[in-house]
Structure 1
Amino acid sequence: METRLPPLRLLTVFEIVLRTGGAQKAASELNVTQPAVSQALKALEDYVGTRLLDRSKRPATLTEAGRILQAGVSEGLGRIAEAFVQIRSLQNAAEQSVTVACSVGTATYWLMPRLADFYSEHQNIAVNVLTTAGAPEFQPGVDLVIRYGTGDWKDGLSVKLFDERVVPVCSPVVAERIEAEGGLSAATLLHVRSDDDSWLTWKDYLSLNGLPENRALGRYFTNYVQATQAALSGQGVLLGWESNAGDLVREGRLVVFGATAYHPKEAFFLVSPAVPQRRAAVRLLTEWIIGHGNGATTLS
């Protein structure tokens, strides 16, 4: 049978009286009069239907019923207090976390390598990176989006991070070999299949630069992470973009093959919601990404 509980206020007064050692000290902690505390205890006893304190003794002691209720109240209020601590921890964690959505390639080769510097400055902020196969979109829980395009999206405020530049890249060993064998026409080209027609393909690049179509064996991948890893392992020549190959070229792990570059009209942008975020963590990461994006060095 379900038992209706007394008002929480009465149980709280009971717990404070026992913890402080008397009605007078409890009244001081609660900032009420001593008679008010005594009335609350009497109301609780009336609700329970039996005495909780043996007032024939000085100081008053717990009855058997009082000891039973003390155990339950102490455990119950303790668990409630613990629950509030956990809730506040969740709130603090949410305040100190930021979620950024971007493509797998952008996350792997541009954002993640730079986050170490951010963490060194802001160790208490957690950055969650949500990767997408297609164009990243705002969804519940996403604070910022990094996109490739012209910056004219309607779902947020766009700030350009860096322009793109596209050049053939490959490992140093492959560059030496294909240079001796006749250049791009003899190279194995690494292709990325994409439904987004804004991404330059090898066919586009060769046509734009007046180069003959490559008849050599090509290898096809579903994303730029796979294709970039293939280039690093010496499997062929990739169309390198600043966003996925820029750092690798600067590190010497890939080299630019040939001097002909293509500059797309599209660029990379940081997009924030149209309604500004008030959380300090989001503001700090926004300013940091923009600062690092504006300082990006293009492929040469």
Structure 2
Amino acid sequence: MNYFQRTLPSLDALVYFEAAARHLNFTHAAAELNVSQVAVSKRIRALEQHLGIKLFDRLGRSLTLTEKGRRLAAKITPSLSFLEEAIDNVRDRSGTERQVVTIAANENVNFFWLAPLMREFQLSGKDTLVSVVTANNVTDVIDHKTDLAVFHGRSAPKGWQVHVSLPEQLLAVTGPSCSRADEFTLLEYTKESPDWVNWSSLTEGQIANWFTNVKFRYCTSYIQSITLAAAGHGVALGVLPLLQRELRLGELQQLRSQILTSDRRYFVATPNGRTPSAATREIVELLGENSTSTISY
């Protein structure tokens, strides 16, 4: 028998952690949760004590996820979505039926793009439950329940109707307080999929157009590279449309004016032979409206 109360922290602590990990800012997380910044800080500290590990590295006002914090964050969002779906399935809705939209995406797409948008979508009072399932290879988690998928590559798989097609654009990004990019380390990461682009994928000439005196610091994931960049510990290879929110909020800044366009794209698609529900169409429109291939300052 599982005695979850002996091993699991409180649900509130996990909800607070998910928001803090997504924003990398306790104040922004507090605003989303409608609580004080002190409340978020206390819950995170209590969670760290419960687990016996550090989840965040704190450098002044900057936050970065530790490796274990990153691993927990990658699991918490889909787990909370699954729990929300389970609760909703047994809730008395007075005869109304709530629509469920299941989305398949890779971890990076979900962490930076889908999760924030879907949370705002559901907090806006929409009577739709969104469930996101993730894997490095999106096709590994697609089944008959999948209503929508976000693919990354040169083309979408056969059997899918593409509704939104966005170019992948690459730019150098770092934290808001950094300015002397020539002295920074480039934050490299191991590609989770052959289609992903990292610093090593670029030619020496392309990198030289941005920086001189290049040195590298290796990260365990793309998420960690962006987390470290936001804290001012180097320069990450930013990807649009994934990082639009962070750039818009000033959590990241673009270095240099050059933007490279890769030969990959992001495809928002639905299965052929199935008419998308009204809720699915609404989410497709939301993803299209909140995606742009250029940055406005």
Sort the TM-score into its range (normalised by shorter chain). Answer: 0.5 to 0.7
Structure 2 equivalent of residue 283 of structure 1? 281
**What SS does structure 2 have at the residue aligned with 1:248?**
helix
- After TM superposition, give the deviation of residue 168 of structure 1 in Å: 0.8
State the number of aligned residues: 205
- After TM superposition, give the deviation of residue 214 of structure 1 in Å: 6.9
- Identify the match of residue 201 of structure 2 among 200, 204, 214: 204
> After superposition, where does 1:235-250 map in structure 2 within 5 Å?
235-250=233-248
- After TM superposition, give the deviation of residue 100 of structure 1 in Å: 0.6
1:107 maps to a residue whose letter is N
**What SS does structure 1 have at the residue aligned with 2:242?**
helix
- Identify the match of residue 170 of structure 2 among 166, 186, 194: 166
Runs of 4+ in 1 over 6 A off after TM superposition: 85-89, 212-215
Percent of aligned pairs sharing the same letter: 22
Query: Is contact 2:103–2:149 with CA below 8 Å preserved after alignment?
Result: yes
Q: After superposition, give the CA deviation of every residue in 1:229-270 in whole Å (9 maximum; x if it has no partner).
A: 111122211000113322212222211111222101211111
Query: Is contact 1:150–1:265 with CA below 8 Å preserved after alignment?
Result: yes
RMSD of equivalent CA atoms: 3.1
Structure 2 equivalent of residue 273 of structure 1? 271
Change (3 A) 1:197 1:116: closer
Query: Is contact 2:172–2:236 with CA below 8 Å preserved after alignment?
Result: yes
After TM superposition, the structure 1 stretch with the greater mean CA deviation from structure 2, 114-123 or 255-264, is 114-123
2:99 maps to a residue whose letter is Q
- Which is greater in Rg? 1
Query: Is contact 1:156–1:271 with CA below 8 Å preserved after alignment?
Result: yes
- After TM superposition, give the deviation of residue 216 of structure 1 in Å: 5.2
Change (3 A) 1:287 1:248: closer
Structure 2 equivalent of residue 119 of structure 1? 122
Q: Is the aligned partner of 1:298 residue 2:294?
A: yes
Higher helix share: 1
**What SS does structure 2 have at the residue aligned with 1:146?**
strand
Distance 1:86 1:200 in 2: 43
Structure 2 equivalent of residue 220 of structure 1? 218
1:264 maps to a residue whose letter is S
Query: Is contact 1:151–1:158 with CA below 8 Å preserved after alignment?
Result: no
2:280 maps to a residue whose letter is V
Q: After superposition, give the CA deviation of every residue in 1:84-141 in whole Å (9 maximum; x if it has no partner).
A: x97998x976x61111111122112112222244335552101011122333552242
2:219 maps to a residue whose letter is F
